[in-house]
Homo-oligomer: A and B are copies of this chain.
């Protein structure tokens, strides 16, 4: 396990200890906060409205890839949810999004007769990939584990299908950091393979499981190298190919997919508020992303974050918990393949950036809550860590140093303290960007307790006497 994480944990504990002594002076505040958290938790576990909302979203708009009719359905669904729940200033904020479609499911198969011929090699085109020619590509496979290995064996790659077999490191206790250590092969693999003369790139799926579900996800072509087609193959599929290569046999694969780019399409972020009582111009942002991949139903990614955010504001409104500052729920469009929504939000709200006092994103699934990660400075971290102690009862008290999230990261230039919701990490990459990301993978209680932690934290921050200390603005 990583020493780094260990030190972060220790730091959190020390910070936590400091915050703890600090709050002994603020005992009444602590007691009233505890009562508020208890009301929120009780309401969540009694009524389970977040889960009902997620069932509704994944039923009415299961496939929400940017530019698709499903994404448009999700936008209208979210707008109606906000109105129904009594949000204020509900509006659609426009953005133009990329529009890519998968086409049919594509195929990857062993091309030469032999005992291996019929073994399944399930694939999914990576989001943004070019298609193969209609007749497909038939070529020998070159398997590499790393970009370094590809560089060393560069001469072998010409005319081949390069297979990047780079597993997410299993021994990392955080699957999120394990994902970070491997996802570069998905996003950059095609261009790196093309530079070496390859005709296609196949990438081992980003998952900690051995199974036959391929996992898609975004990729990006660099300027310059040929735009060769690329797809993810299931981890068991990689194993089948690898077995033959490791036995010294030449493997020829046939690869076909007919995904396609269209013109950018109009879409929207969906925004609604609970206006603050005494500082209505100061904004605490809470959000997730409304778009999702076209496979599975995006129940965890990011239906969970969408419903966490909607339901958190809905719960505060319902319980009459209106804080001093405005809580703004932003459901971002196009996190998965372009972040057009986040960029449009920044552009539209540039002149109120200094009024954003805090932002929280939920985009790591709806599993049992463990706490949060944050880029806040030590002083703000201590305050947030003290707030999180109210979640000890249900095990969500961690406030670790780390990232906020992809969408809210655009607010970093304003020095806004960013927080990311941290659920238990072990099941997320079993289903991330795959057919398995469906409602049956969501546990009601886990989802509701995550929502309760989020609702409680944004309420506490929005209702502080003083503003949470900001981060220094990054120098340009």
The interface of chain A, by Cβ under 8 A from chain B, is 1-2, 5-6, 9-10, 13, 17, 34, 38, 41-42, 45-46, 48, 170-171, 173, 175, 208-209, 368, 370, 392-395, 398, 424, 426-427, 430, 443-446, 449
Contact = CB atoms under 8 A, between A and B. Distances in A.
Contacts of A5: 393
Contact of A393 (B13, B46, B173): B173
Contacts of A171: 41-42, 45-46
Most buried by B among A17, A34, A208, A392: A392
B394 A1 contact: yes
Given A6-B393, A9-B392, A10-B392, 18 more contacts: A1-B38, A1-B41, A1-B42, A2-B393, A9-B393, A13-B392, A45-B170, A45-B171, A46-B171, A48-B170, A173-B393, A209-B444, A368-B368, A395-B398, A424-B424, A426-B443, A426-B445, A426-B446
A441 to B, nearest CB: 11
A394 B41 contact: no
Contacts of A170: 45-46, 48, 445
A430 B443 contact: yes
A41 B13 CA distance: 22
A40 to B, nearest CB: 10
Most buried by B among A46, A48, A427: A427
Contacts of A38: 1
9 contacts: A6-B393, A10-B392, A17-B17, A45-B173, A173-B394, A173-B449, A368-B368, A368-B424, A426-B443
A1 B426 contact: no
A2 B424 CA distance: 23
Contacts of A9: 392-393
B443 A427 contact: yes
Contacts of A41: 1, 171, 173
A454 to B, nearest CB: 16
Nearest to A42: B171
A391 B48 CA distance: 32
Contact of A1 (B10, B209, B393): B393
Contacts of A368: 368, 424, 426
Nearest to A444: B209
Contacts of A395: 173, 370, 398, 424
Contacts of A370: 395
Most buried by B among A6, A42, A173, A368: A173
A259 B370 CA distance: 44
A20 to B, nearest CB: 8
Most buried by B among A41, A209, A424: A424
A427 B38 CA distance: 22
A83 to B, nearest CB: 28
A423 to B, nearest CB: 10
Contacts of A13: 392
Most buried by B among A9, A426, A446: A426
Nearest to A392: B9
A337 to B, nearest CB: 28
A444 B207 CA distance: 12
A209 B446 CA distance: 12
A196 to B, nearest CB: 31
Nearest to A209: B444
Contacts of A443: 426-427, 430
A228 B170 CA distance: 53
A87 B443 CA distance: 38
A364 to B, nearest CB: 14
A335 B373 CA distance: 41
Nearest to A424: B368
Nearest to A34: B6
B208 A445 contact: yes
A396 to B, nearest CB: 10
Nearest to A38: B1
A1 B391 CA distance: 10
Contacts of A175: 445
A53 B34 CA distance: 44
Contacts of A424: 368, 395, 424
Most buried by B among A171, A208, A393, A449: A393
A395 B395 CA distance: 9
Nearest to A4: B393
